[in-house]
Amino acid sequence: MKLLVYRKKSHTDQYLNFSSHHPLNHKLAVIRTLLERCYSVVTEEDEGKEEEEHVAKAISKCGYPPWTIDRVKQDMVEKSLKDEAKKVKNTRGNHRGMVVLPYVKGLSEAFARILKSHLIATAKRPH
């Protein structure tokens, strides 16, 4: 049985614009979601490559530079390797807590790095 990603005729391939005022991880999550759907739904290898090309074309129309898709693919590979290692170790996360920050470009990223050095996880949300 052959499975593909379905799009309605009215689908426009418009996603979160790269120049919008949102954290970078939200923008990269758009790509990650599209690629995860591609990898989990499409069953044929050549159709998978075609779907991946469609995703790359769609996000480039939304202003995403080419390095973003490469970074997301690399992050997905690293995450799968970490997940495999966690299954072996079966350990709990090493952070002390979680903080949700309002997103302010430039400031939120710096503050998150400071909190990370104190083992405090952060999540950023737009206003």
* Exposed/middle/buried for residue 31 (C-beta within 10 Å: 0-12, 13-18, 19+): buried
Same-domain check for residues 84 and 124 = no
**Are 74 and 97 members of one domain?**
no
Most confident by average pLDDT, 29-38, 75-84, 107-116:
29-38
List pLDDT tens digits, range 11-69.
999 999 999 999 999 999 999 999 999 999 999 999 999 999 999 999 999 999 999 99
- Predicted local distance difference test score (pLDDT) of residue 111: 92
- The reported pTM is 0.70
Three-class secondary structure of residue 6 per DSSP: coil
Do 72 and 96 have their domain in common?
no
Whether 98 and 67 map to the same domain: the answer is no
Biggest alpha carbon–alpha carbon distance for the chain: 50
The pLDDT value recorded for residue 16 is 96
Tokens of 104: 């302010």
What residues make up the domain containing 32?
3-7+10-91
DSSP-based three-state secondary structure for 100:
strand
Strands (E), 38-126: 97-102, 120-125
Domain count, the chain: 2
DSSP string, 77-116: HHHHHHHHHHHHH------SEEEEEE--TTHHHHHHHHHH
Residue 121 contacts residue 98 (beta carbons within 8 Å): yes
Q: Please report where in the chains the tokens 């952060």 appear, as a residue.
A: 122
Do 23 and 74 lie in one domain? The reply is: yes
Band (84; pLDDT cuts 50, 70, 90) = confident
Average pLDDT over residues 106-113: 92
Same domain, yes or no, for 77 and 99?
Answer: no
Write down the pLDDT at residue 83: 80
**Looking at the structure, do residues 86 and 102 belong to the same domain, yes or no?**
no
> Is the same domain home to 102 and 66?
no
Confidence of residue 93 (pLDDT cuts 50, 70, 90): low
Structure tokens at 33: 């979601």
Question: What pLDDT, on the 0 to 100 scale, is given for residue 91?
Answer: 45
The two three-digit tokens of residue 124, written as one number: 């950023």
